[in-house]
Amino acid sequence: MTQINLNLLLQNFLNKNPDIRESRNKGLVNRRALAKYIIEKESLDKNRFEALVTTLRRFELKPETLEYLDVVKELKVSTKDKISIVYLEKSDEVLKNILKVVNLVNFNKSETLKIVLGSLSIKLFIDEFNVKKTENIFSDKDIIATYKNISELNLIFPDKASKMKGVIAYITTELSINNINIVEIITGKPELIIYVKESELLKAYETINRLKE
């Protein structure tokens, strides 16, 4: 295995293990212990141990700058629960019926409706009290699945955040480190909207607020 392969392997490993990446970034991880752990988890030849230690020594992770952290401190966070996500097949008929869903929603009362059009499917983010009405608009074959008991975290960033790389990754990595599963995520300047299970909303909210302190 070449040095380039080891760099790629290490990058992929740290991406899959954000808790280890965070600890290493803070200088809390012993390189030799980490190399041994990676060899075991990735089923590598033990003869690659010293080469991996050397790669870890040279491998750099870019630390967060003060400017980066200042952006996070300026976050405005709001939450909303009792959200459902309806996954629909993408077809001309479904697209025509989307307008009927729009007419269901009273935006003057801040009711929820977000539509995400993918290459293979359409996602509707809607209040639970409108789910049954929404499902009745479509045929059974059009509905792939419906997820209920979902909560929304709406993060509003300052304008300067759009010019910085990795801000969103920083937020999502911290949630992952705290064992919070992100069900869905929507981005659109200046918002980042994260969907989690209702049972994890408080923990997710507290995690993000800690980043602001």
- Report all structural domains of the chain as residue ranges with CATH numbers, in order of start: 3-63 (no CATH), 71-212 (3.30.2130.10)
Average pLDDT of the chain to the nearest whole number: 88
3-state SS class at 4: helix
User: Is the pLDDT confidence value at 32 over 50?
Assistant: yes
pLDDT reported for residue 168:
83
- Predicted confidence (pLDDT) per residue in 64-115, tens digit: 455 666 788 888 999 999 999 999 999 999 999 999 999 999 999 999 999 9
- Print burial letters for 14-29: b (CB count within 10 Å at least 16), e (below 16): beebbebbbebbeeeb
Please, are residues 187 and 109 in contact by the beta-carbon 8 Å criterion? no
pLDDT reported for residue 63:
54
3-state SS class at 66: helix
Please, are residues 101 and 53 in contact by the beta-carbon 8 Å criterion? no
Q: How long, in residues, is the chain?
A: 213
- Predicted confidence (pLDDT) per residue in 39-58, tens digit: 998 888 888 899 999 888 88
- Measured distance CA(80)–CA(153) in Å, rounded: 7
pTM of the model: 0.73
List, in sequence order, every residue forming a beta bridge with 13; answer none if it has no partner.
none
User: Is the pLDDT confidence value at 148 over 90?
Assistant: yes
